[in-house]
Amino acid sequence: MVQQIAFGPRIRKSPFFKATQAAGASHFSIYNKMYFPVAYGDPAAEYDRLVNAVALWDVAVERQVRVKGPDALTLVRALTPRNLASVKTGQGRYVPICDHRGTLINDPVLLPISDDEYWLSIADNDLILWVRAVAFERGMKVEVSEPDVSPLAVQGPKAVEVIRDLFGDWATEMKHFAFTESELDGIPLILGRSGWSRQGGYELYLLESRRGTDLWNMVGEAGVPYGIGPGAPNYIERIESGLLSMGADTDHRTNPFEVGMDKLVDVDQETDFIGKQALRRIRDGGVRRLRCGFFVHGDPFQGPNQQWWKVIADGARIGFVSAAAYSPRIGRNIGLGLIDASQAEPGTKLIVETEHGRRSATVSELPFDIPKG
């Protein structure tokens, strides 16, 4: 039975909604209370475009929490374990956000817009409630709001050529996570070198909702020589690349050390950020679980896992696989999971309880090695 997404006014539509409809969006999810087109009816072509050419993604669901005012930097520094002493305007950073127990609650990219304005480009939850509560409780002089900003991602090895043709050579020299204000044919935007893949690419943060279709079409036309087509964050590629999906890969007690964010947590800095004591205890006590990759043996999977899979060692449950798929480039089933640290050494043999029965599995490093094709 085909089960439809219900369209209505309760869930917001992206500025690119009409364009994605015209492009043949076939499957939707909802993310940050917005419709999120996640497939266009041809999974093989969508994967191929991303890893060999260039893809256009409506990621307007990546909402911004804007913190603006004299205390903006003080608040942002209190929110993340990452040391922001050397933060500078125009250079984004990936910043884990933890609660007072050291549990991860979001993993945004921080965009320092100016000395008194910072954006957090967030994963799927209402981080704005957290930020606003902390700001108000501490009596900080900041305004916390959601601006009219909607990212459009251009991802894949040929993204750089599309962006060069649109913006000029300067855009090819941008560093990872650098961003700058720009425009295309009068459409105001921020151009950032970022995106949720490891294939390289950019995000165009549209600053004027009503120009969504215009921007989609301009980028689409510029990409024709490079084989551009519609797509979405790709389930297979993100597993190959070991990208973290907050909420999908994490549970109610995941801390940043468990998911390989050690370098993003500075418990020795002077700033008294939220979760500092808890994270220091965790660091000193040693981490109990670790994120790792898996090769899952047996027949190729025909689609994504439908739920978390139990991971078993010596008859006991030692964690879960959160995402699994068959990788065409590797030629094997691969997965991501969080398991007892004692079993997370690459090469360790384990059992995974899948929807397709019990399978043997082997721990892999992350990201997975991609054979040169």
Residue 190, judged by CB atoms within 10 A of its CB (0-12, 13-18, 19+), counts as buried
> Taking Cα atoms as reference points, which of 206, 196, 203 lies closest to residue 240?
196
Residue 203 marked as a ligand binder:
yes
CA 211 to chain centre: 24
Question: Per-residue contact track with its own copies, 42 to 81, x per CB under 8 A?
Answer: ----------------------------------------
Q: Which is nearer to its own copies, 137 or 173 (CB)?
A: 137
Helix (H) or strand (E) holding 113: strand 109-114
Structure tokens at 338: 């969080």
Hey, which residues between 226 and 245 contact its own copies (CB under 8 A)?
A: 235, 245
In DSSP notation, 287-345 reads -SEEEEEEEE-SSPPSS--SS-EEEEETTEEEEEEEEEEEETTTTEEEEEEEEEGGG-S
Q: Which is nearer to its own copies, 3 or 86 (CB)?
A: 3
Number of residues this chain uses to bind its own copies (CB under 8 A): 52
Question: Per-residue contact track with its own copies, 167 to 206, x per CB under 8 A?
Answer: ----------------------------------------
**Which listed range, 99-107, 156-164, 194-202, 294-302, lies at the site for its own copies (CB under 8 A)?**
99-107
Of 42, 48, 116, 126, the residue at the interface with its own copies (CB under 8 A) is 126
> In angstroms, what is the minimal distance from the CB of 347 to its own copies?
26
Q: Tell me if 272 contacts its own copies by CB under 8 A.
A: no
For 6-15, which contacts have Cβ atoms below 8 Å and span 24 or more sequence positions?
7/35, 11/35, 14/58, 14/60, 14/61, 14/150, 14/212, 15/60, 15/150, 15/206, 15/209, 15/210, 15/211, 15/212, 15/213
> In angstroms, what is the minimal distance from the CB of 39 to its own copies?
7
Of 157, 247, 260, 367, the residue at the interface with its own copies (CB under 8 A) is 247
Hey, which residues between 5 and 44 contact its own copies (CB under 8 A)?
A: 5-11, 13, 24-30, 33, 38-39
CA distances from 96 to 275, 288, 345 (A): 11, 19, 25
CA separation for the pair 315, 330 (Å, rounded): 29
Of 71, 74, 116, 134, the residue at the interface with its own copies (CB under 8 A) is 134
Hey, which residues between 284 and 323 contact its own copies (CB under 8 A)?
A: 304-308, 322-323
Of 136, 148, 168, 176, the residue at the interface with its own copies (CB under 8 A) is 136
CA separation for the pair 172, 154 (Å, rounded): 13
CA separation for the pair 360, 373 (Å, rounded): 27
> In angstroms, what is the minimal distance from the CB of 160 to its own copies?
29
Q: Which residues bind its own copies (CB under 8 A)?
A: 1-11, 13, 24-30, 33, 38-39, 99-100, 105, 124-127, 129-130, 132-134, 136-138, 145-146, 235, 245, 247-248, 252, 274, 304-308, 322-323
Binding residue numbers for substrate: 203
